Amino acid sequence: MNNTLSWNNHIDLLVKKLSKACYIIRNAKSYMSVPSLKMIYYAFFHSVMSYGIIFWGNSWHSSIIFRLQKKVIRITEGCGNGASCRSLFKKFQILLLKSQYMLSLLTLVVQNKTLFLINTENYNLYTRQRNNLHLPQANLTIYQKGACYSGIQIFNNLPLEIKMLLVTRKNLKLLWKNVYTLIHFTPWKSTLVTCELRMVFQNFNMVVYWFKIFWYALDKHPWIVVLSSYICTQWLYTLNWLHFLV
């Protein structure tokens, strides 16, 4: 950390170490299998990348680390620099930098849950947020990007079912790896306000809700269902076409 309370100097040192790890994996690619390269990745790259990530993981300068992570994944697979890493991370079951950052913050909160207050300990009101961790008031952005504040935010955004399972670190890793297969690759964001796990479960509940409406309309008004299906098909076709242009 420098005199401006940023982690740029630390990230610059990580870039040098991680570049050496990329060089090692590139040289070992010609005579080692993919599982062996994955072991080298965790030994030389992942261990360095995940060290202290709760402090610098949300820094804008950390996008350099994420580019190096995608580079080493492409080297392991043996594809070009312009290849997409969307499917490669899922294939190797490797967490993205931001996902590893969120996992480390959740691990911090779960292992030290006794150090955090619950909302019911501050007030006796029967609200929907009563079982969440108490989020302290903070006006400084540098404090809001801190490990404790960001960890509480991510933990409070988890569904209740997942919070009940987060008892030990083993359950945390197992749960995250299982749900990670459902999470699509999204661009890097410097500030993590919402949790991707919450989006997955919200989308699932929305699908169930619309399926019930569709089943009811099919029983009462079949012609409306046919017209709605045609409109939705055209809408999805338009979205795919716009996505292709982008």
Tens digits of per-residue pLDDT, 12-50? Answer: 999 999 999 999 999 999 889 999 999 999 999 999 999
Determine how many CB atoms are found less than 10 A away from the CB of residue 139: 6
Give 21's contacts (C-beta < 8 A, 6+ positions apart). Answer: 40, 41, 44, 45, 48, 72
**Tally of CA atoms within 13 A in the half-sphere of 158 that contains its CB:** 25
State which amino acid sits at residue 154. Answer: I
What per-residue confidence (pLDDT) applies to 225? 60
What per-residue confidence (pLDDT) applies to 220? 64
Condensed to tens digits (0 to 9), the pLDDT of residues 72-115 reads 999 999 888 888 888 898 888 888 898 889 888 888 888 888 88
Using DSSP's 3-state secondary structure scheme, residue 52 falls into coil
Condensed to tens digits (0 to 9), the pLDDT of residues 195-213 reads 444 444 455 455 556 666 6
Output the six-digit token pair for 47: 């261990």
Q: What are the beta bridge partners of residue 133? A: 118
What per-residue confidence (pLDDT) applies to 183? 42
What per-residue confidence (pLDDT) applies to 117? 86
**Does the pLDDT at position 181 exceed 60?**
no
What is the 3-state secondary structure of 130-153? CCCECCCCCCCHHHHCCHHHHHHH
pTM for the predicted model, two decimal places: 0.67
Which of residues 243 and 175 earns the better pLDDT score?
175
